[in-house]
Amino acid sequence: MDNGSQQIELSPIKQIELLASKIPGVVSLAQGIPADDTPSIIKDEVISALQLGKAARYSLTYGLPQLREEISQHLQSIGMEYDWEREIIVTAGSIEGITASLLALVSPGDEVIITSPSYASYQQAIKVARAIPVEVDLDDKWQFDLDAFKKKISKRTKAVIIANPNNPTGTIFAKQELIEIAKLAKSNNFFIILDEVYRDLIYEDSLFFSLAELPEFRDVIVRVYSFSKAYAMTGWRIGYLHSDKRNVDEIIKTHDALVTCAPVISQYAALAALLMPEEQKDQIRQAYKNRRDVIVSRLDKMSDIFSYQKPTAAYFVFPKIKLLDWQDSWRLSLALLEQAKVAVVPGVSFGKRGEGHIRVCFGRSVHDINIAFDRMEEFFDKIKT
């Protein structure tokens, strides 16, 4: 679709998955989809809601009151104070929350800063709002370079989107830089869309800090969360956002225009997810941490091919390609797909700074991760000879 000035395209992650779906026997470490099924504790609640006839009708546009109350209590437990009635919206996945926020808070021609690399769909969501994505390069450790960031602020800057933990790097941003950016947002009058969809998949808790904990920034921050990742619920399309009432009063209108309300059956699933026992959440996190350790040990054995930052969160690693002839990440990803039957995402999909890298997802089973790495080792052995 051409929106006048900028082409809106299918995200490259989905392009790779489309290509992969046509090749029999491919092992995909491309799209960020958890390998596991939604936990049965959630499915059982949903079956009961269905049988009781609770899912047939729209909910309030904001979402089921019971769910929003539960979200508000959960937020309180992690140091965030938001009124369930007027400051929380249940959304159809976090990407709908992000798009509704942009449509509400940003005008055509405004600039929205995104980190390079960052989640590929931000570019498309910004273009849907007829705004202009402006990339700011992260440094070698995938952290903010504040001087580089300041240079990207202009009179037309209306928002920055920060994924913390970040996709595709699996890393966490440092507290001090986040606070500096929030101060810049206040003084320069722009919003921060704080995407914390990987908040429950953090392997080094001490590193994590959320700007939404600080009340002085609540008027510039819209925080989004998703049930897709930690609860293996990508297919349910359910998440939420929260912000100061003044912003939510605007976002509710675009959310209504887009979806009327989040799918009600999925809202019951979200309610069950929030009520899941802590031990079960810990087990899920531990399972991802184990997969992280497997992928890291496989990468260590390929140190002549890749270097990487060890992921401390999410389920991605973003290795840098050391081979000079294979710096073109699309060329390498297509060769891996066609010759090794392994799907990964070209790093350049996440911004120019991502060129020379590939994104590998460890949301899949250990079995799949090992097969994919066996095949990649074979591929690189062949091209080296």
What is the x/- site pattern for ligand PLP, positions 283-302, by CB under 6 A? --------------------
Burial of 285 (0-12, 13-18, 19+ CB in 10 A): middle
Q: Residues 106, 172, 185, 197: which binds ligand PLP (CB under 6 A)?
A: 197
Q: Do residues 281 and 173 make contact, with C-beta atoms less than 8 angstroms apart?
A: no
Pick the piece of the chain touching ligand PLP (CB under 6 A) from 89-97, 102-110, 259-267, 281-289: 89-97
Residue 49 Cα distances to 78, 265, 274, angstroms: 28, 8, 16
**Which one of residues 12, 32, 39, 63 is an interface residue with ligand PLP (CB under 6 A)?**
32
Residue 278, class by beta-carbon neighbours within 10 Å (0-12 exposed, 13-18 middle, 19+ buried)?
A: exposed
Q: Per rule CB under 6 A, is residue 376 in the interface with ligand PLP? A: no
Nearer to ligand PLP, 85 or 137 (CB): 137
Is 72 or 167 the residue whose CB approaches ligand PLP more closely?
167
Q: Does 234 bind ligand PLP (CB under 6 A)?
A: yes
Q: Alpha carbon 379 to chain centroid distance?
A: 30
Under rule CB under 6 A, which residues in 198-227 are in contact with ligand PLP?
226
Q: Residue 194: what are its φ and ψ, rounded to 5°?
A: -100, 105
Phi, psi at 141, each rounded to 5°: -100, 15
CA distances from 140 to 163, 242, 285, 296, 329 (A): 17, 32, 27, 18, 18
Minimal distance in Å, beta carbon 161 to ligand PLP? Answer: 9
Q: Rounded distance, CA 337 to CA 17, Å?
A: 10
Nearer to ligand PLP, 222 or 305 (CB): 222
Amino acid at 115: T
What residues pair up with 219 in beta bridges, in sequence order?
Answer: none
239 binds ligand PLP (CB under 6 A): yes
| Residue that has been written with the tokens 């942009």 in this structure | 102
**101 scored as a contact of ligand PLP (CB under 6 A):** no
Q: Which of 195, 244, 355, 368 binds ligand PLP (CB under 6 A)?
A: 195
H helical segments located in 189-277: 245-259, 264-274
CB of 172 to ligand PLP, least distance (A): 13
Residue among 305 and 345 whose Cβ is closer to ligand PLP: 345
Decide: helix, strand or coil at residue 202: strand
Min dist CB 284 to ligand PLP, Å, is 16
State the nearest-atom distance from the C-beta of 228 to ligand PLP, in Å.
Answer: 3
| Stretch near ligand PLP under the rule CB under 6 A, chosen from 87-95, 214-222, 281-289, 331-339 | 87-95
Contacting residue, 115, 123, 124, 228, with ligand PLP by CB under 6 A: 228
Q: Out of 64, 89, 95, 369, point to the residue binding ligand PLP (CB under 6 A).
A: 95
Kindly tell me which of 341 and 359 has the beta carbon lying closer to ligand PLP: 359
Q: Which three-class secondary structure string do you get for 229-244?
A: CCCCCHHHCCEEEECC
* Residues at the site binding ligand PLP, with contacts judged by CB under 6 A: 32, 93-95, 119, 163, 167, 195, 197, 226, 228, 234, 239
